[in-house]
Amino acid sequence: MDGERVENVSREEAVGAVLVPAALAKAVAGRAWFRDRVGESGCEVYRLARPGVPDLYLKMAGDATLGDLVDEMVRLRWLRGRVPVPRLHGFGLSADSGWMLSERLPGRTAYQLLDADPAAAPALAASLARFLRRLHAIPAEQCPFNADHALRLAAARERMEAGLVDETEFDACRLGRSARQVWDEMLAALPAQFDRVVTHGDFSLDNLLVVDGAVTGCIDLGRVGVADRWQDLAILWNSLAEFGEAAAEAMLDAYGIPLDPAKLDFHLRLDEFF
């Protein structure tokens, strides 16, 4: 959940309290409200602060994103106790709106840490990989959520045909191509086999919290489900590549897997559609 990032004054602005359902009113009473202006994924996200107690985060969805918020809530509940994720403090739902209240995880995002100290990238990359291996070790047969390539391809095609793919946001190696061109290239190089593990779905540096080099938990859980492990490995590899080849290589070494160029390319192309 993007709104659960740690405080950064350049990303936030103080705002007045927002009306919430009665069931959540007591939990948010007396708190200062700060609107998160970065990476809200269509939802409104607020950090709620009060001296002497931990911050909370409130994510609010309208009609268009209500299903996404419900998806995230049920996955958060399922993951709790399996890997570190935020504790859910409350959830409200109406016909066209939703509210999810959760705790703030300790630490800073992996991206914030590497942005401040790029030289730490290889060591931190290894820590992130060990956490990812822990997530992938959850028995896939216990996971009730599907996120495999077939499902994502269907969703990607729907977004492409609806004109929802932002071609200006493609990675540098694909800038200038149309969504249709990327789609055709992706299908032409479809890997022959996919494995099945419990994946995060958007295992990027902004979605991992770290304290003293150890991952304290992951956020933004709406895409969790059973899929090919390279769904996560590709996104993390791409995120780390910004900080040098050694970081991406350290991640794969710590995870214990060689680079699979075909899988890497497929999943990075598929991610362009979301």
User: Which sequence positions are flagged as catalytic?
Assistant: 202
Residue 104: which region, alpha, beta or left (left: phi > 0; alpha: psi -120 to 50)? beta
Neighbours of 184 (CB within 10 A): 12
- HSE, CB side, 13 Å, CA atoms: give it for residue 133: 13
Gyration radius from the chain CA atoms: 19
What lies within 8 Å, CB to CB, of 259 at 6+ separation is 252
Contact 255, 237 (CB under 8 A): no
CB burial of residue 188 (10 Å; 0-12, 13-18, 19+): exposed
| Residue 145 identity (one-letter amino acid) | F
Q: Are 245 and 122 in contact (CB under 8 A)?
A: no
User: Which helix (H) or strand (E) segment is 254 a member of?
Assistant: helix 245-255
Whether residue 20 contacts residue 27, with contact meaning beta carbons closer than 8 Å, is answered with no
What distance in Å separates the CA atoms of residue 127 and residue 147, rounded to the nearest whole number?
Answer: 25
Residues 6+ apart with CB under 8 A from 181: none
Provide the β-strand partners of residue 46.
35, 58
